Amino acid sequence: MNEVPKKSRRGRPKTLKKADVTDVAMHAYWENGPAEVSLNAICQQAGVSKPSVYREFGNDDGLTHAALSSYADKVLGKMLTITQSEDSFARKLNQLVHLSAEDVLHEHGCLFVKMRTAKAQMGPKTQELIGAIESMSLDAFSKVLSEARAAGSGSGGISVELGARYLQAQIGLALDQRARGEDPKETLALALSVFNTADT
C-alpha cells in the first residue's frame, strides 16, 4: 500500500523562540546601547528573520519592551531584594554600592539607564515601562529612607523624596561610569556619604 504524500506547508517553518530572541536583544541593547543596535543585527545574531520577529513582537517597540522587561526581572530584581531586606540602612547602601560599582553583572552598565537616556527614541510601550521602572525604584528607595528615618539613622537631614531621587541619580551615574569602563566606587561612596551612615 502506497503512502499518501504529505502536503508541504506554505512559507518557512516557525523556528523563532521568543525567549531566545528576547535574551539576544536584551544583551545587545545592554552592551552596545539601544540606539546603536539595529533590528537586522539582532535578527542576524539570533539567526531569525525580520518577519518572524515582527510576528512575535509586533514591531521594534515590542522587542525593546520585551528586552527591558526581561532585564527588569533578571537584574533589577537584585536591587529590590537589597532594598527589601532586613539589613541596616548602612548595609543596604554598601550592598547597592557593590551591585552598582563592582558586581560583574553591571560590567556594561545598566540597560534601564541606557534606555532611559534614549527614552525619546523608544516606542510608547517601552517609554511606559521605563516610567514604571523609574517609579518602582523611587518607591523602593523612599521606603528604605523612611525606614532609616524611623530607626533614627541615615537621614542626613535630607527629605525622603529628595533622598530617593538623589540615591537613584547617583546609582544611575555609577552605572553609566561602568558602561564607559570607569571605576565609580570612590565617587559613589563619596556621593552617598551625605546620608551620614554610622551603623553597619
Bigger pLDDT: 125 vs 94: 125
Mean pLDDT of 41-63: 94
How high does pLDDT run on average in the chain? 86
Query: How far does Cα 176 stand from its chain's mean position?
Result: 12
Q: How many CB atoms lie within 10 A of CB 13?
A: 5
- DSSP code per residue over 48-111: --HHHHHHHHSSHHHHHHHHHHHHIIIIIHHHHHHHTSSS-HHHHHHHHHHHHHT-GGGTT--H
Helix (DSSP H) and strand (DSSP E) numbers for the chain: 10, 0
pLDDT value at 20 more than 80: yes
Tell me the Ramachandran region of residue 122: left when phi exceeds 0, alpha when psi lies from -120 to 50, beta otherwise: beta
Q: How far apart are CA 39 and CA 134, in angstroms?
A: 26
pLDDT value at 197 more than 80: no
pLDDT digits (tens, 9 = 90+) for 101-111: 888 888 888 99
pTM, rounded to two decimals = 0.83
Q: Quick check: 195 and 151 in contact, CB under 8 A? A: no
pLDDT value at 166 more than 70: yes
CA atoms within 13 A on the CB side of 84: 9
Grid cell locating 158: 535630607
In single-letter form, the type of residue at position 158 comes to I
Mean pLDDT of 29-55: 93
pLDDT value at 135 more than 80: yes
Grid cell locating 142: 523612599
Percentage with pLDDT > 90 across the chain? 55
